[in-house]
Structure 1
Amino acid sequence: MKIAIVGAESTGKTVLAQALAQELARSTGMRCIAVPELLRGWCEREGRTPRPDEQAAIAAEQAAAIDAAALTHDVVVCDTTPLMTAIYSEYIFGDRSLIEQGQAFHRRCDITLLTALDIDWEFDGLQREGPHVRPPIDALIRRALIEGGLGWSIVSGQGRARLDSALDAVTRLLARPGTGLFTRLENRQAALPDWRWQCDCDVPECEHLSFQRHNAPDEDLR
């Protein structure tokens, strides 16, 4: 199983990937691994961000690392995917040539998790530009997924709630009644209350407004 995590910068992808792999290993006994974002190491090694002509190789290397991990593990949690390289190529260089390749990778994944913009932006080296880039990157990710006919699950919340949000999405794929191996996940899912979104649309502005209302002080909602 491949679990793809995508999202704008500083939305908790790395922390989520590591925590999700650890929790799934503990709950299921399966061999789980989080494959890190290779671009981070590339930037640290080179002391700069990639040029346009270097993007394709970085995307291919990310896909190869994930596929290699899948040969020796039951569950691979992808801390970013080739699609994110394609998204930043589009945003920074106006180059959409890698989008189709990124979409093709996600078709080989069992689920795509999109991290919401509901946590604070933090500086973290060469890769990050600032909080102002998060909404447009988020919009480009959604557009690429929609154009590719790909679905996704939103992961939101602070701290442990963010991990729980991801677990809610992946448990349905992992839990198989009667196996015994997934008892903890099954029990966790059964204990969740019934709920539904008040809105069934997929408009980011609506979704983000919901997060703002949830986190804002009462006087800001008047």
Structure 2
Amino acid sequence: MSAAVVEGPVRRVAVLGAESSGKSTLCEALARHFGTVWVPEYLREFVDTHGRVPFESDQYPIALAQRAREEEAAAQARRFLFCDTTPLMTALYSRQYWGRVDPQLAELDRRHDYAWTLVTAPDGPWEPDGLQRESEAVRQQVHAMLVETLARRQIAYVLLEGGLEQRLRRVEALLASA
């Protein structure tokens, strides 16, 4: 009988940010660097599958699917699980577009249980992405809403600025002692 290797609990890292701020690129690079997996943003798949942006009634199911994919990926992760968005962002976009958040989504959003929260600054060029992306103005507005929400809820976060290499170095230093 061989002994199982125990590595300790997987620590989830939330990577948040407005549209076109480099979340997916960063998550993929971090997972590769740390030899683990990452959770892509389910919203992209939703838009591709349905050929449209979500309706308000889609927001809670999208956030549920995101969390379910996190749970699945956590079973395969090693040391860290990088999560490209969380229900918090889904709730922010609900506020942005409909002026309110479904109570079930709000409850899911309140369970922000990540070891680290990283925020990608909207400091690179804005790039349209078909149905999913709106404008530079909306990107800046969502970023401001995000940092205000994190501050109000007293969720500690690290703002990542600059290019991919600069962001990677910053996160590597942050997670080095974990």
TM-score (norm 1): 0.70
Q: Over alpha carbons, which structure has the higher Rg?
A: 1
Shift of 1:133: 0.7
Query: What amino acid is aligned across from residue 148 of structure 2 in structure 1?
Result: R
Runs of 5+ unmatched residues, structure 1 = 26-31, 175-222
What residue identity is the alignment partner of 1:90?
A: R
Gap change, CA 1:140 and 1:99, over 3 Å in 2: farther
Residues paired across the two proteins, number: 165
- Unpaired runs of 5+ in structure 2? 1-10
2:159 counterpart SS class: strand
Partner residue, 1:56: 60
SS at match of 2:176: helix
Deviation at 1:100, TM superposition (A): 4.5
Deviation at 1:60, TM superposition (A): 0.8
- Could you list the per-position Cα deviations for residues 56-115 of structure 1 after superposition, in whole angstroms to 9, with x for gaps in the alignment? 0100110111012112322210011111111111101111343442231x2x21100000
Q: Work out the CA distance in 1 between the residues paired with 2:81 and 2:39.
A: 7
| Match of residue 45 from structure 1 | 49
Q: Which structure exhibits the higher relative contact order, with contacts defined as CA atoms closer than 8 Å and separated by 6 or more residues?
A: 2
Which 4+ stretches in 1 moved above 6 angstroms? none
Question: Which residue number corresponds to residue 143 of structure 2?
Answer: 138
The equivalent of 2:125 in structure 1 is 120
How far apart in 2 are the matches of 1:23 and 1:116? 21
RMSD across aligned C-alpha pairs, in angstroms?
Answer: 1.4
Q: Is the 8 A contact 2:26 2:164 kept in 1?
A: no
What percent of counterpart residues are identical?
Answer: 37
Counterpart check, 1:71 vs 2:78: no
Aligned: 1:19 with 2:29: yes
Q: Is the 8 A contact 1:89 1:95 kept in 2?
A: yes
Query: What is the distance in 2 between the residues matched to 1:41 and 1:83?
Result: 18
Q: What is the TM-score of this pair, normalised by structure 2?
A: 0.87
